[in-house]
């Protein structure tokens, strides 16, 4: 194959990204979507609303790449200047786009809200640009050619950006040449350190290998990602599966999930497929398990409910954990976890229930139960109606409260996917 | 004042940031730390390990800025090329730094592990560079002058980067001129659209104004951020307070919180200051309120617990919501929200409790109760022990399930801060 790949860059715009600690997640999302089409993303730039800096950043990206996707700075307020800056880079005036204005008016009518006059600015775009309608917000985007690059400008709100990427950018890009068929696979791993896993997979991680194998860490879970390229998507997928087959024995018992969906999505799908309902009894995870599952549409068919039982009184009163269990073993113990899971399973009339109780830190640790000690239990209702439960303990490295809680939630998902 | 501010850029290096969905959090952290010293950070660049792209990205950052902090690409493996690339940009060879090698050997000795030969690469650095020791990992960093900029190269592992920033970069920068004292303030607003608020604050949002005023939107909440600069930090803070005083009447009843802490942090601090305990009864927010509060250290002193009551059975059984209330008014109604809050307050023996019940979507909406309708209640225990509760309804724009849930959580925080 001699096709030159299409080169893309991403520009994220907004003072809040540079000066207010807001993390740019748009770029990584856009890159992932573009690379699935076989486009090579070579750079992200994050720049503020300062017109001079912004113009230089957009123009130089358009000189280096074939495709540039910029997000942000399309709001109605005067500190949003992306429209003016792109027009200046083109040496063009702004024009008022009547159709965009109509869509903005309709958006406000839908929510029965008055239209602030400042929103008229959002219907302006560079003379030679094509407006891109925004079905989920007031800011239309636009597409324009600048320095031989196709430049797409989308709103910075992630929800609006994602919809507009799907409705406008991806369909346009799919018609272009230079797309190399790709496929992806993802294996989810809990247990080893990133270094240990990297050492074990070393021979797969050489640069230039096809499929490319990479490891990313998030909340204590490691994801082994495969990106394969070939003449067709099916061939690329076959290459990925071939490598996945070699990887599985090396990942051993650490491997707990496969697929491109998020782990909570896989859990919800598995429970829904088995028509199993679930309940949670959460102490150290404090509602995170329930919150992550209920973020998914369709979770109400599966989740009966949950109890966040932080205090011993709550564990006793609401989950029926016997006081002598709490006294004898302490709140962070396998017998208490087991009683919590059983209590949630009974009280919510669920098919299964998971309990977490642990020490998330920064304080509360002891020599025998250091920060990061978390006890889990999974209770399962038998066909006879009786409930079986098993409990286990994980010593999570104390890399901060958020890490311990996130890692504990992944342990819950692991248990539910077994 | 005629001092020119010191201009900085940040470069994050690694294929995993471009191609594997790993989110760059180093840049925002570095920018926050540098801006606290009065340095103006004007751009972040995220680039992979490709030598040509990497060299261009580092060199152009060093042409634009006085100070460049680059992170990543210092590992022992061949795909880490930052050392070679900076040497090439300088037109210099690499030199082997015996002291760095000694520190690497000591690091391995500490963990009683053999030293892989590949680690010798980590002791190499450009001829004119000064090595920076790494007390929390194997990769030393370095500092060098490139195109009149001070270039610091640090490891990409966030934990190591943070230690080296404190030990090497900040002390060096504090000796330089060009540090302008700054102060920040933040006002949190719920209610208006971004456009409406922008219109009201228009005269404050002119570029170049001091303090600079900007609006950012997140999960349905708007933050009005002020950044002031002056001859001293106290003067800058006074400038911010002066503008805040003018803003407050314009923000009216929409303003619900002030301060640089996150909103859950403010809620926790307010409850702790009043020695009030709290419980949650969550339907549509599904555990998010409890999860966000328990993410904070010290929350166990305030949060008694919570119940995620998704099903009507759970609302009845666990919160004592009367069946005829559910039948007569439906689960999404103010009487049911009120009964949920009262039930949680009683069962958890809390001083107050908040309930949420609503339609997060995408399905479940009706003409009278469209998606986004959320009923809330706040129950408060009187000194006599009796419980008062008030309920209210918010029609949240249907901008997706996550938006409705996030916006509902902010409504809970607003109610608790009143």
Convert A266-298 into a string of H (helix), E (strand) and C (coil): HHHHHHHHCCCCEEEEECCCCCHHHHHHHCCCC
Other CB atoms within 10 A of residue B386 CB: 8
Q: Which CATH number fits domain B182-258: 3.40.50, 3.30.2310, 3.30.70, 3.40.190?
A: 3.30.70
Q: State the nearest Cα–Cα gap between B177 and chain A, in angstroms.
A: 21
Helix axis angle, B82-90 to B51-64, nearest 10°: 60
- Shortest Cα–Cα distance, B107 to chain A (Å): 15
Q: Are A12 and A25 in contact (CB under 8 A)?
A: no
Q: Check: CB of residue A302 under 8 Å from CB of residue A278.
A: yes
pLDDT for position A227 = 85
DSSP bridge pairs for B13 = B47
B195 in contact with A, Cβ within 8 Å: yes
> Which of B186, B215, B291, B370 has the most A C-beta neighbours within 10 Å, making it the best mutation to test the interface with A?
B291
Each residue of A274-303: pLDDT tens digit? 999 999 999 999 999 999 999 999 999 999
Q: What is the per-residue pLDDT for A219?
A: 78
The pLDDT tens digits of the residues spanning B187-207 come to 999 998 877 888 889 889 876
Whole-number pLDDT of residue B293 = 97
Residue A147, pLDDT score? 95
Using CB atoms, pick whichever of A51, A118, A311 lies closest to residue B199. Answer: A118
Kindly report the average pLDDT of chain B as a whole number: 91
% of chain B with per-residue pLDDT over 70? 98
A263 and A413 in contact (C-beta within 8 Å)? yes
**Ranges of chain A whose pLDDT falls below 50:** 1-2
B217 closest CB neighbour out of A32, A157, A218? A157
Instruction: Nearest chain B residue to A343 by CA: give it.
Output: B318
Other CB atoms closer than 10 Å to residue A408's CB: what's the count?
27
Q: What is the pLDDT of residue A178?
A: 67
User: Could you give the count of Cα atoms lying within 13 Å of B397 in the half-sphere of its Cβ?
Assistant: 18
Alpha-helix runs per DSSP H in B97-220: 98-110, 158-164, 170-174, 194-200
Residue B295 per-residue DSSP state: T
Segment B319-327 mean pLDDT: 95
pTM of the predicted model as reported, rounded to 2 decimal places:
0.83
Within 8 A of A361 by CB-CB distance, chain B residues are 297
Q: What does the pLDDT average to over B367-391?
A: 95
**Residue positions counted in chain A:** 418
The residue-averaged pLDDT of B349-377 equals 95
Domain A263-417: state its class. alpha beta
Q: Is-contact A284 A404, C-beta < 8 A?
A: yes
Q: Is B285 on the interface with A (CB under 8 A)?
A: yes
**List of chain A residues whose C-beta atoms are within 8 Å of the C-beta of residue B313:** 304, 348-349
B361 touches chain A (CB under 8 A): yes
Asked if the model's pLDDT at residue B3 lies above 70, the reply is: no
For B121-149, the pLDDT digits (tens) are: 889 999 999 999 998 788 899 999 999 89
- Main-chain dihedrals φ then ψ at residue A265, nearest 5 degrees: -60, -40
pLDDT mean over B48-65? 95
What are the domain boundaries of chain A?
7-174, 182-258, 263-417
Give the model's confidence band at B16: pLDDT under 50 very low, under 70 low, under 90 confident, else very high.
Answer: confident
Preferred mutation among B41, B292, B305 to probe A, highest tally of A CBs within 10 A: B305
Neighbours of A338 (CB within 10 A): 22
Could you say which of A31, A305, A309 has the minimum Cβ distance to residue B314? Answer: A305
Output the CATH code of domain A7-174.
3.40.980.10
Q: Which residues contact B249 (CB under 8 A, 6 or more apart)?
A: none
Cβ within 8 Å, pair A286-B307: no
Long-range contacts of the stretch A403-406 (C-beta < 8 A, 24+) = A403/A219, A403/A220, A404/A284, A404/A358, A404/A359, A404/A360, A404/A361, A404/A371, A404/A372, A404/A374, A405/A284, A405/A285, A405/A286, A405/A288, A405/A360, A405/B294, A405/B295, A406/A218, A406/A219, A406/A220, A406/A288
Distance CA A408, CA A147 (A): 50
Average pLDDT over every residue of B19-24: 80
């Amino acid at each position: 194959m001699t096709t030159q790949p299409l080169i893309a860059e991403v520009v994220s715009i907004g003072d809040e990204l540079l000066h207010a600690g807001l993390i740019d997640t748009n770029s990584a999302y856009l890159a992932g979507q573009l690379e699935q089409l076989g486009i090579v993303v070579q750079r992200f730039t994050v720049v503020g609303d300062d017109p001079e800096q912004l113009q230089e950043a957009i123009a130089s990206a358009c000189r280096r790449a074939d495709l540039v996707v910029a997000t942000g700075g399309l709001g109605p307020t005067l500190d949003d200047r992306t429209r003016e800056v792109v027009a200046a880079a083109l040496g063009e005036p702004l024009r008022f786009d009547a159709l965009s204005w109509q869509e903005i008016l309709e958006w406000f009518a839908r929510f029965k809200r008055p239209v602030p006059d400042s929103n008229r600015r959002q219907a302006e775009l560079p003379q030679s640009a094509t407006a891109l309608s925004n079905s989920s917000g007031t800011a239309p985007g636009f597409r324009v050619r600048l320095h031989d690059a196709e430049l797409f400008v989308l709103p910075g709100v992630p929800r609006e950006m994602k919809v507009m990427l799907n409705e406008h950018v991806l369909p346009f890009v799919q018609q272009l040449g230079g797309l190399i068929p790709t496929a992806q696979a993802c294996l989810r791993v809990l247990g080893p350190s990133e270094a240990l896993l990297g050492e074990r997979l070393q021979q797969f991680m050489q640069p230039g290998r096809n499929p490319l194998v990479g490891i990313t860490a998030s909340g204590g879970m490691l994801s082994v990602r495969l990106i394969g390229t070939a003449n067709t998507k099916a061939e690329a997928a076959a290459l990925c599966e071939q490598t996945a087959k070699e990887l599985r024995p090396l990942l051993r018992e650490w491997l707990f999930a496969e697929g491109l969906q998020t782990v909570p999505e896989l859990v919800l799908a598995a429970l829904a497929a088995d028509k199993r309902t679930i309940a949670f009894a959460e102490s150290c995870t404090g509602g995170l398990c329930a919150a992550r599952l209920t973020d998914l549409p369709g979770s109400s068919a599966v989740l009966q409910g949950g109890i966040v039982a932080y205090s011993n009184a709550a564990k006793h009163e609401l989950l029926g954990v016997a006081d002598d269990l709490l006294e004898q073993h302490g709140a962070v113990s396998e017998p208490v976890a087991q009683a919590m899971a059983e209590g949630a399973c009974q009280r919510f009339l669920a098919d299964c229930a998971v309990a977490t109780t642990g020490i998330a830190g920064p304080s509360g640790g002891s020599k025998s139960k250091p920060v990061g000690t978390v006890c889990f239990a999974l209770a399962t209702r038998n066909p006879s109606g009786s409930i079986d439960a098993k409990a286990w303990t994980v010593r999570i490295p104390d890399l901060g409260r958020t890490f311990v809680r996130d890692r504990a939630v992944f342990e819950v998902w692991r248990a539910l996917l077994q």
